[in-house]
């Protein structure tokens, strides 16, 4: 073996044949590596080890790549566009955006890998995330309530009865509530803290409806369940010590859509007590115009993107997502429809007063032409899209509460409905939160603005039930 010198603390080390006791070839190699590791400076040592231990180098590269990938993914998911105008702490909007973004991407990846469909995966991921939060929260928020899962005319419901209500002789008010989730995700469990809080604070019996979800059950399944459960409660209110003349209806997002649709339908029913009020929380009310100012201004926000909201409407309508881009571009409606009274029902002037009003021409619904899209005429059905109700059908509706948020693609739906209801002579109370975002109300116990919104919502119900 040839000799060589390395400098280490000014000491010359000479390695030559016979310097070590007889040993195996592997031992000699290990001894050599040990000596080199001790004597070489750091840079030279690392270089030599890389040559002698290629597996360790490969492992280091893999670890580095994983680290970079994780860093990129974290940057991608954490870099949520949260407008400066949203009230502090803006972390709530960022976290909600992350949850929706992660869930949407996992849903698509799962479908690509053959694990469920996009809506099924979205539902599973979202509910799993929410359920983790619920377990951490505990069930103390149910104190003072009797909670029962039962059936109302074949529809699953959860009934919240304040224990105090059973101890008084007079009857109490009632409220039917429909959860949000785009008619596709979420359920009575995910909304349990909210509905329990409303029941406890109002001293009212709250019925939370677990309607069938799309796309397994497209329209009118959710609507039919909502009508059936509401009618059953109106007809059997005495069983729950509820005054049947003091029953209202409410819901958030897609649940607000169902609440408005049920109110329109039951207003025409004979032989039933009239609903005392309807309270609509950032409701989804129309599917003919996805180019309203709020869709254009806030459709990129992950708290509820335009893409996802359009997907929800399609899953509810016909479950054919091949038309998603067509809907987003408003190419799902004909020029005739765009010039009809139905287009006037979503006149942008109602949210942008400086705009000129639309010039529309009354057209018979049966004569309107549509592109060849399955069930597309349904977008004009008020049971599907309440904002499409004619002016005559809005007259005589009960007092209405509407909550809207500035940073929400559905903002204009609520503003337009409140405007049209007022024009029809309906008493309307409209709370608009300029510094909030879609779906913020369930954060009422942690977010100051959401807490304020919850109290104003409850105050309205106390006065109008």
To the query of whether residue 438 is one of the catalytic residues in this protein, the response is yes
Residue with tokens 């407008």: 83
Q: Cα torsion for 100, 105, 111, 114, to the nearest 10°? A: -120
User: How many other CB atoms sit within 10 Å of the CB of residue 156?
Assistant: 17
Cα 27–chain centre separation: 64
Tell me which residue of 174, 383, 203 sits closest to 273, measured CA to CA: 174
Judge contact between 405 and 440, C-beta under 8 A: yes
Distance CA(211)–CA(262), nearest Å, equals: 13
Q: How far is CA 190 from CA 117, 119, 193, 248, in A?
A: 21, 17, 8, 22
Kindly report whether the peptide bond that precedes residue 43 is cis, defined as omega within 30 degrees of 0: no
Choosing from 210, 347, 408, 413, the catalytic residue is 408
Distance CA(386)–CA(228), nearest Å, equals: 18
Kindly report whether the peptide bond that precedes residue 220 is cis, defined as omega within 30 degrees of 0: yes
> Which residues belong to the active site?
253, 408, 438
């Amino acid at each position: 073996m040839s000799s060589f010198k390395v400098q280490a603390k000014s000491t010359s080390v000479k390695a030559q044949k016979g310097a070590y006791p007889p040993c195996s070839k592997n031992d000699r190699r290990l001894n050599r590596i040990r000596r080199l590791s001790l004597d070489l400076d750091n840079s030279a040592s690392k270089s030599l080890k890389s040559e002698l231990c290629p597996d360790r180098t490969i492992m280091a590269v893999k670890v580095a790549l994983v680290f970079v990938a994780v860093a990129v993914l974290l940057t991608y998911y954490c870099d949520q566009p949260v407008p400066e105008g949203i009230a502090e702490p803006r972390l709530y909007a960022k976290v909600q955006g992350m949850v929706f973004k992660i869930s949407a991407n996992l849903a698509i990846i799962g479908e690509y890998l053959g694990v469920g469909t996009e809506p099924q995966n979205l539902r599973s991921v979202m509910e799993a995330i929410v359920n983790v939060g619920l377990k951490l929260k505990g069930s103390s928020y149910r104190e003072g309530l009797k909670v029962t899962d039962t059936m109302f005319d074949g529809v699953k419901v959860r009934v919240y009865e304040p224990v105090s209500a059973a101890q008084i002789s007079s009857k109490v008010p009632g409220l039917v509530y429909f959860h949000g989730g785009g008619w596709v995700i979420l359920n009575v469990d995910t909304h349990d803290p909210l509905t329990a809080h409303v029941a406890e604070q109002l001293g009212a019996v709250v019925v939370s409806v677990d309607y069938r979800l799309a796309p397994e059950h497209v329209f009118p399944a959710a609507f039919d369940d909502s009508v059936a459960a509401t009618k059953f409660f109106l007809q059997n209110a005495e069983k729950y010590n509820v005054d049947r003349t003091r029953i209202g209806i409410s819901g958030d997002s897609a649940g607000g859509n169902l609440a408005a649709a049920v109110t329109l339908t039951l207003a025409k029913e004979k032989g039933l007590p009239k609903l005392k009020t309807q309270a609509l929380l950032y409701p989804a009310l129309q599917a003919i115009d996805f180019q309203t100012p709020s869709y254009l201004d806030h459709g990129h926000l992950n708290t509820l993107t335009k893409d996802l909201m359009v997907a929800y409407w399609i899953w509810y309508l016909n479950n054919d997502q091949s038309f998603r881009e067509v809907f987003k571009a408003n190419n799902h409606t004909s020029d005739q429809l765009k010039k009809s009274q139905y287009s006037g029902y979503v006149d942008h002037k109602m949210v942008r007063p400086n705009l000129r009003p639309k010039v529309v021409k009354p057209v018979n619904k049966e004569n309107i032409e549509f592109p060849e899209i399955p069930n597309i005429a349904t977008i004009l059905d008020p049971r599907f899209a309440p904002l499409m109700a004619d002016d005559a059908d809005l007259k005589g509706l009960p007092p209405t509460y509407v909550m809207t948020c500035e940073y929400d693609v559905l903002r204009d739906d609520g503003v337009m409905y409140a405007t049209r209801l007022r024009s029809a002579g309906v008493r309307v109370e409209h709370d608009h939160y300029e510094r909030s975002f879609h779906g913020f109300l369930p954060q009422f116990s942690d977010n100051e603005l959401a807490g304020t919104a919850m109290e104003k919502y409850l105050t309205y119900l106390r006065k109008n039930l």
